[in-house]
Chains A and B, each alone.
Chain A
Amino acid sequence: MVHWIIGFLFIVSGLLSSIMNMAPESFADNGAETVPELTLAEAAMGEGLKDGLLQNQAVAFSVGLGRVICYSSFDPVPQRSFIYHNWYYRDRLSTRTRLVLMPPRWNTYSYIQLREADKGPWRVEITTEEGRLLRVLRFSITD
């Protein structure tokens, strides 16, 4: 009889401990579904694009190239959203480009046309629509 009772208690405690260990995951799974965050997978400055790929990634560009590209790749993109490429010349905002992102992943870019007066240090700040800073790319326009 005692053996039966001890055996029963073991079984009950085993079941309880399994339930307790599983509980957090079970509750998480049962709650609101986690929305994956918009993530910037890659960003770089380059001379151009070819077949959707950034060409000649660099940190110094000759003004003679005519333009410079800021390329950004997002993965994942949970929902349709917007990001900004903010172009600064010597800490002064030069231009701001609003770019759309489509799920599930999206590559996008902006560029500026180069003039002689643009020589000097630049940076591009990539931000979300809400203003969250995702990446800063620093480069120079040179001779």
Chain B
Amino acid sequence: MIAATASFFSAMRWQDVIDILINSYILFRFYVLFRGTNVLRVLVAIGFLWFFQRIATSLGLVVTSWAIQGITAFAALIIIVVFRNEIRSVLQAKNIKNIVWGLPITSVSAPVSIIADSVFDLARSHTGGLLVFPGKEDLGEMVHSGIQWDGKISKEMLMSIFWRDNPVHDGAAIISGDRVSEVGAILPLSHRNDLPSYYGTRHRAAAGLAEATDALIVVVSEERGNVALAKGQRFSVVKNREELSQEIESHLGIASRQNAFLRRRILELGAAAAVSLLFIGGVWFSFTRGLDTLVSLEIPVEYMNRDQNLEIIDTTANAVRLNLSGSGTLIKSIKPDQVRVRIDLGKAVIGHNTFSITQENVSLPPGVFLRKVDPPNLDVTMDNPVKKELPVQVDWVGKMPENLILASARLDPEKIQVVGGSKLLENIVTIYTEKVSLENITKSGKITVKPVLYPASIMIAPGSRERIIVEMEVRSVAPSVK
């Protein structure tokens, strides 16, 4: 088992590791960006669909496999169309750094210092105020007539909520996290008799809620300009901001909750990262497991970086046969344009050049490996093209009718200009025409014939005639003299 694991990891290339890490990170970023939205749920559902489709395929459930495949393809379209607003809001709300790097591990807690400052500013200006910090208990049954607010806490906002001309200034503001969730809330009044007589309705309301729940209520006295807080049966005056901050933090358990929150968030993200890594590792493994599938492809050879002054005159092969291996999935998905064989002619010289076809010459899709090349070497003959004027000769065949001879044949033009490799043209001194049969030639006249260019790399030079006119003179003769 250990040996098999070691062998598996030793077979991995560094490119595979990077491949898995990159895609795991992309998947993890998807989770970070879309967590809490419906997009992520649908993506997970698509993942499951894909997984079931693979199982259906491996079990040979043809219709099921096709159906799931269709649904999966359609689901991807649905995500883009239906959740376009959510996708847009996620992408618009975050900058590039947050999209590719940032982690949502900062906790959302009440801005205690802002609240403490605001409370003492209210006290200094003799503006009454009532703030409720819920504990673990639900306040739903105790708090009535509150107006939904859900505004982020700021000093200006708190000051304006309790401003005398504000219709909601007599009610309580409910603080949830870093937001004011409700304003103008009506709290139950306390029936205690031990409260000082100068405490008005606001103080009684604070005491009433404190008695009934585990909430912390901060009261700012309009008449005296002092700050008091109520929790449970306790009702005490707070002297300064630090004391108030300490009381609020203690009530909210900010220090300990923050740590717990961070631990939970890091665990969640760590789990997401691990799942991403496992998932992509699994996908990679399913694609690349087993290199037992072989395929043989005939691929045309491409030549690059040819000197403009040189031409390829001849090659020993125009295509090579590649034996490739890889997983069945990858081998089946190979498209012809993904496999290329290229030979760099940058260093080729006039004459014969031998090139060995190695891994460097062959580009393959990832996960597909080259096993064999046939032929392993290619001979490429290079030459620089030149023009040459060559005489044309008719290639007569067959037999003249009895007692007739072809006395003469005048060609127009007698010579033609051809273009070809200099080495090649060195050895060519005549251009022959296509074969012209003598069988049907019974009288003098003209015929038009085509020159035969061999090898095929020779071409008639631009401007030179491609047809030869042959003016023939036919004579009758007596039986031949021997």
Task: Return A27 CB to nearest CB of chain B, in Å.
Answer: 41
Complex Cα gap A48–B480 (Å): 8
Q: Mark B387-411, 1 if CB is under 8 A from A, else 0.
A: 0000101111111100001111100
Report if A62-B430 is in contact (Cβ < 8 Å); known contacts: A47-B480, A140-B394: no
Contacts of B432 in A (CB 8 A): 90, 121
Contact A62 B477 (CB under 8 A): no
Asked if B2 is at the interface of the complex by the 8 Å CB criterion, the answer is: no
Contacts of A38 in B (CB 8 A): none
Asked if B90 is at the interface of the complex by the 8 Å CB criterion, the answer is: no
A30-49: which have CB < 8 Å to B?
A: 47-48
Of A59, A136, A143, the contact of B391 (CB 8 Å cutoff):
A136
With both beta carbons as reference points, the residue of chain B lying nearest to A120 in the complex is identified as B395
Number of residues from A at the complex interface, CB < 8 A: 24
Contacts of A62 in B (CB 8 A): 399-400
Asked if A138 is at the interface of the complex by the 8 Å CB criterion, the answer is: yes
Contacts of B394 in A (CB 8 A): 59, 121, 138, 140
Asked if B438 is at the interface of the complex by the 8 Å CB criterion, the answer is: yes
Asked if B157 is at the interface of the complex by the 8 Å CB criterion, the answer is: no
Complex Cα gap A138–B395 (Å): 10
Number of residues from B at the complex interface, CB < 8 A: 23
A50-58, A76-84, A98-106 - the one binding chain B: A50-58
Contacts of B408 in A (CB 8 A): 57-59
Report if A66-B482 is in contact (Cβ < 8 Å); known contacts: A57-B407, A59-B409: yes
Contact B482 A121 (CB under 8 A): no
With both beta carbons as reference points, the residue of chain A lying nearest to B428 in the complex is identified as A91
Asked if A112 is at the interface of the complex by the 8 Å CB criterion, the answer is: no
B344-399: which have CB < 8 Å to A?
A: 391, 393-399
A54-97: which have CB < 8 Å to B?
A: 55-60, 62, 65-67, 90-91
Task: Return B127 CB to nearest CB of chain A, in Å.
Answer: 116
Asked if B481 is at the interface of the complex by the 8 Å CB criterion, the answer is: yes
Complex Cα gap A22–B364 (Å): 90
Asked if B45 is at the interface of the complex by the 8 Å CB criterion, the answer is: no
Of A48, A90, A119, the contact of B481 (CB 8 Å cutoff):
A48
Contact A123 B480 (CB under 8 A): no
Asked if B429 is at the interface of the complex by the 8 Å CB criterion, the answer is: yes
Asked if A142 is at the interface of the complex by the 8 Å CB criterion, the answer is: yes
Contact A59 B406 (CB under 8 A): yes
Task: Return B411 CB to nearest CB of chain A, in Å.
Answer: 9
Complex Cα gap A90–B428 (Å): 10
With both beta carbons as reference points, the residue of chain B lying nearest to A140 in the complex is identified as B396
Report if A48-B482 is in contact (Cβ < 8 Å); known contacts: A58-B407, A60-B406, A91-B429: yes
Task: Return B86 CB to nearest CB of chain A, in Å.
Answer: 80
Contacts of B395 in A (CB 8 A): 120-121, 140
Of A50, A56, A66, A142, the contact of B399 (CB 8 Å cutoff):
A142
Contacts of B393 in A (CB 8 A): 121, 123, 138
Complex Cα gap A56–B481 (Å): 8
Complex Cα gap A50–B479 (Å): 14
With both beta carbons as reference points, the residue of chain A lying nearest to B400 in the complex is identified as A60
Report if A50-B407 is in contact (Cβ < 8 Å); known contacts: A59-B396, A91-B430: no
B427-482: which have CB < 8 Å to A?
A: 428-430, 432, 438, 477, 480-482
Complex Cα gap A136–B429 (Å): 12
B66-113: which have CB < 8 Å to A?
A: none
Contacts of A140 in B (CB 8 A): 394-397
Contacts of B400 in A (CB 8 A): 60, 62, 142
Task: Return B450 CB to nearest CB of chain A, in Å.
Answer: 15
Report if A50-B430 is in contact (Cβ < 8 Å); known contacts: A57-B407, A123-B393, A138-B393: no
Contacts of A55 in B (CB 8 A): 480-481
Complex Cα gap A19–B67 (Å): 118
Contacts of B482 in A (CB 8 A): 47-48, 65-67
With both beta carbons as reference points, the residue of chain A lying nearest to B410 in the complex is identified as A59
Complex Cα gap A55–B480 (Å): 8
Contact A58 B406 (CB under 8 A): yes
Complex Cα gap A99–B482 (Å): 22
Contacts of B406 in A (CB 8 A): 58-60
Task: Return A11 CB to nearest CB of chain B, in Å.
Answer: 60
Task: Return B445 CB to nearest CB of chain A, in Å.
Answer: 15
Of A58, A90, A91, A121, the contact of B405 (CB 8 Å cutoff):
A58
Task: Return B202 CB to nearest CB of chain A, in Å.
Answer: 121
Contacts of B428 in A (CB 8 A): 91
Complex Cα gap A123–B432 (Å): 12
Complex Cα gap A136–B390 (Å): 13
Contact A56 B397 (CB under 8 A): no
Contacts of A58 in B (CB 8 A): 405-408
Task: Return A109 CB to nearest CB of chain B, in Å.
Answer: 14
Q: Which residues of B contact A (CB under 8 A)?
A: 391, 393-400, 405-409, 428-430, 432, 438, 477, 480-482
With A59-B394, A143-B399 given, can you name 15 additional A-B contacts, CB distance below 8 Å? A47-B482, A56-B477, A56-B480, A57-B407, A58-B405, A65-B480, A65-B482, A121-B395, A123-B430, A138-B393, A138-B394, A140-B397, A142-B396, A142-B438, A143-B397
Can you list 11 A-B contacts with CB-CB less than 8 angstroms, sorted by A residue number? A47-B405, A47-B482, A56-B477, A56-B481, A59-B409, A67-B482, A123-B430, A138-B394, A140-B395, A143-B397, A143-B398
